[in-house]
């Protein structure tokens, strides 16, 4: 089921740039709705999408490459403003009969450009002014297509920006979407507001209003089931649906026994207690522990947990009676990863938050957050009145503490990890770091070390503390937590968690390590 609730849309055609998502982020920050689609989106689909403007992204190719990505030629005849960025500009030039010079050397990094025309794209930047921009290109424009004028030039690129103002075709050789181009947001804003005539009306309040309305209409009298984990995405999904269909929504919280201390209780309190949702807690701790008995291989653990989760969820859903839809908290980056650049026909990674459930249960999917980035989801959460604690929660893996207990999972080892993890969370929060780092947690290692407590020799467990800084979990660096905070964490764990006599801090980045230890 697709929910389409926006009137002013910008279309971003993706030619494979590592910055394409950033373009979308910037457009959204300017409060205009946009979507990323593959470069080969059909003309008919583009027309159906009915954009107020089109942005052609950069890309790693040269237009002279054998397999260079080309968008539909008819694009150029549309009565819609177009902005080409880097490869997008070169593609535009090529398509309109200009000449792109093949160059072996890349121009890379901060470059000064001189603004020659500040009427449209560079409005407010000052004619004759030098501005810093970020360049990363090989080829450049040798001859502009007919009707175009240069808007700015740099030492190596006489045509650093160009336009056919009458036909509203613009191109920039640099990347306005990256932070290294300080005036980038202004330039993108000029394109959106001055050239495309958009309004800054994409707010999370408008998203909530429109989404609730269309969910209500589309779902009608049917019932919806939603798996609730207490994570940001599933929580916001559930509250949004609850606002739309109230009692026709049933949520299931599976306690797999691998949650953090008090987690299930806290989730119940918020959603059942505060929102009055129809929320069913299934305590399956024993069940999961039994199936994980003696299992030490990380992938086996994941498989077992995934399989049993589906089994339990399905059982409970059947018990609750007939539902037509299953709600999931899929986010936009997952959707882009699935369809962008290579196009919808390429083999894609499937992103099922609750792996495979719809197939098994014959349910249709509802994914009300599939157009949103994570920070937008958090804004929606705030808009819906979710507690800040929940909205700002760090990510927590589906398999839970199972992938943070190296080796065998037992009730006793879970208790040790829970106690240590609660201390890490507590200290990180007290130091004001919880919302600054991406994730911070404890890991229980499968080794014992010798220690001394009082006059006694001890031979006990080691806890590793992991904290990373990251933007998207694809890459991460270990957080530079102040020594005093690490010291307090270590003291508290060793003094109060029975069975632990040593704490170490993980100083590995991703890659080559990963964030989780398993």
Q: Which residues are annotated as a binding site for ATP?
A: 229-235
Cβ closer to ligand XMP: 177 or 518?
Answer: 518
Binding residue ranges: 229-235
Q: What is the DSSP letter of 246?
A: G
Shortest CB 394 distance to ligand XMP, Å? 8
Q: Exactly one of 136, 256, 439, 461 binds ligand XMP (CB under 6 A); which one?
A: 439
Query: SS3 string of 370-387?
Result: CCCCHHHHHHHHHHCCCC
Shortest CB 257 distance to ligand XMP, Å? 16
Q: Segment contacting ligand XMP (CB under 6 A): 82-90, 106-114, 331-339, 397-405?
A: 397-405
Q: Exactly one of 153, 298, 398, 499 binds ligand XMP (CB under 6 A); which one?
A: 398
Phi and psi dihedrals of 237, rounded to 5? Answer: -55, -45
CA distance 424 to 430: 10
- 37 has catalytic annotation: no
Q: Segment contacting ligand XMP (CB under 6 A): 129-137, 184-192, 266-274, 391-399?
A: 391-399
245: buried, middle or exposed (CB in 10 Å: 19+, 13-18, 0-12)?
Answer: buried
514 binds ligand XMP (CB under 6 A): yes
Q: Are strands 9-14 and 33-38 parallel, antiparallel or unpaired?
A: parallel
Shortest CB 336 distance to ligand XMP, Å? 17
4 binds ligand XMP (CB under 6 A): no
516 binds ligand XMP (CB under 6 A): yes
CA distance 325 to 219: 8
- 460 has catalytic annotation: no
- 198 has catalytic annotation: no
Q: Segment contacting ligand XMP (CB under 6 A): 143-151, 281-289, 497-505, 510-518?
A: 510-518
Q: Segment contacting ligand XMP (CB under 6 A): 10-18, 91-99, 396-404, 409-417?
A: 396-404
CA distance 148 to 139: 18
467 binds ligand XMP (CB under 6 A): no
399 binds ligand XMP (CB under 6 A): yes
Q: Which of 37, 94, 137, 175 is catalytic?
A: 175
CA distance 245 to 408: 43
Shortest CB 505 distance to ligand XMP, Å? 17
Q: Which of 34, 37, 72, 86 is catalytic?
A: 86
Residue of 145, 32, 21 lying closest to 89 (CA atoms): 145
448 binds ligand XMP (CB under 6 A): no
CA distance 180 to 136: 11
209 binds ligand XMP (CB under 6 A): no
Give me the sheet containing 149-153, strands edge to edge.
Answer: 33-38, 9-14, 53-56, 82-85, 169-172, 161-164, 149-153, 107-115, 130-137
Q: Exactly one of 282, 473, 486, 504 binds ligand XMP (CB under 6 A); which one?
A: 473
Shortest CB 305 distance to ligand XMP, Å? 8
Q: Exactly one of 397, 479, 489, 493 binds ligand XMP (CB under 6 A); which one?
A: 397
Shortest CB 333 distance to ligand XMP, Å? 12
If phi over 0 gives left and psi between -120 and 50 gives alpha, with beta otherwise, what is residue 273?
alpha
Question: What is the footprint of ligand XMP within residues 298-337 (CB under 6 A)?
Answer: 302
Shortest CB 154 distance to ligand XMP, Å? 39
- DSSP three-state, residue 192: helix
How many residues lie near ligand XMP (CB under 6 A)? 11
Residue with tokens 């467990």: 461
515 binds ligand XMP (CB under 6 A): yes
Residues 6+ apart with CB under 8 A from 495: none
Residues 6+ apart with CB under 8 A from 72: 40, 41, 42, 43, 46
CA distance 439 to 506: 13
Point out the residues that are catalytic. 86, 175, 177
Site for ligand XMP, rule CB under 6 A: 302, 395, 397-399, 439, 473, 510, 514-516
């Amino acid at each position: 089921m697709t929910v389409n609730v926006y009137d002013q849309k910008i279309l971003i055609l993706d030619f494979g740039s590592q910055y394409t998502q950033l373009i979308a982020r910037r457009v959204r920050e300017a409060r205009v709705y946009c979507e990323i689609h593959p470069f080969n989106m059909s003309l008919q689909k583009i027309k159906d999408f009915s954009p107020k403007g089109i942005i052609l992204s950069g890309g790693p190719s040269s237009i002279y490459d054998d397999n260079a990505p080309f968008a539909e030629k008819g694009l150029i005849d549309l009565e819609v403003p177009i902005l080409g960025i880097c490869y997008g500009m070169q593609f535009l030039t090529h398509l309109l009969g200009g000449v792109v010079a093949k160059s072996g050397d890349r121009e890379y990094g901060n470059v000064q450009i001189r603004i020659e025309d500040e009427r449209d794209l560079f409005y407010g930047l000052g004619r004759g002014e030098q501005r810093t921009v970020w360049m990363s290109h090989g080829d450049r424009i040798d001859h502009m297509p007919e009707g175009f004028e240069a808007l700015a030039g740099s030492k190596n690129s006489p045509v650093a920006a160009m336009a056919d103002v009458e036909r509203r075709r613009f191109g920039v050789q640099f990347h306005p979407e990256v932070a290294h181009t300080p005036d980038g947001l202004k330039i993108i804003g000029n394109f959106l507001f001055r050239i495309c005539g958009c309004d800054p009306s994409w707010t999370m309040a408008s998203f909530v209003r429109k989404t609730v309305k269309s969910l209500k209409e589309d779902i009608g009298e049917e019932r919806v089931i939603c798996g609730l984990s207490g994570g940001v995405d599933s929580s916001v999904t559930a509250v949004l649906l609850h606002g739309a269909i109230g009692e026709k929504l049933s949520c299931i919280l599976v306690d797999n026994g691998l949650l953090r201390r008090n987690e299930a209780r806290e989730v119940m309190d918020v959603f059942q207690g505060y929102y009055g949702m129809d929320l069913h807690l299934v305590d399956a701790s024993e069940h999961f522990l039994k199936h994980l008995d003696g299992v030490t291989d990380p992938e086996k653990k994941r498989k077992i947990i995934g399989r049993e989760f589906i089994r339990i969820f399905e059982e409970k859903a059947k018990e609750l009676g007939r539902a037509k839809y299953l709600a999931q908290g899929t986010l936009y980056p997952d959707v882009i990863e699935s369809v962008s650049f290579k196009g919808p026909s390429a083999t894609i990674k499937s992103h099922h938050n609750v792996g495979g459930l719809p197939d098994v249960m014959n349910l249709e999917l509802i994914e009300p957050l599939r157009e949103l980035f994570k920070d937008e989801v958090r804004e929606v959460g705030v808009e819906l009145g979710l507690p800040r604690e929940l909205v700002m929660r760090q990510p927590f893996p589906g398999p839970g503490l199972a992938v943070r207990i190296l080796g065998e999972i037992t009730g006793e080892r879970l208790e040790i990890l829970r106690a240590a993890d609660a201390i890490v969370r507590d200290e990180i929060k007290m130091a004001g770091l919880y919302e600054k780092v991406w994730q911070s947690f404890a890991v229980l290692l499968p080794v014992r070390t010798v220690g001394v407590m009082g006059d006694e020799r001890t031979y006990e467990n080691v806890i590793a503390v992991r904290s990373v800084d990251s933007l998207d979990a694809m890459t991460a660096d270990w957080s530079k937590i102040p020594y005093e905070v690490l010291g307090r964490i270590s003291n508290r764990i060793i003094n109060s968690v029975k069975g632990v006599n040593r704490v170490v801090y993980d100083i590995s980045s991703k890659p080559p390590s990963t964030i989780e230890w398993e």
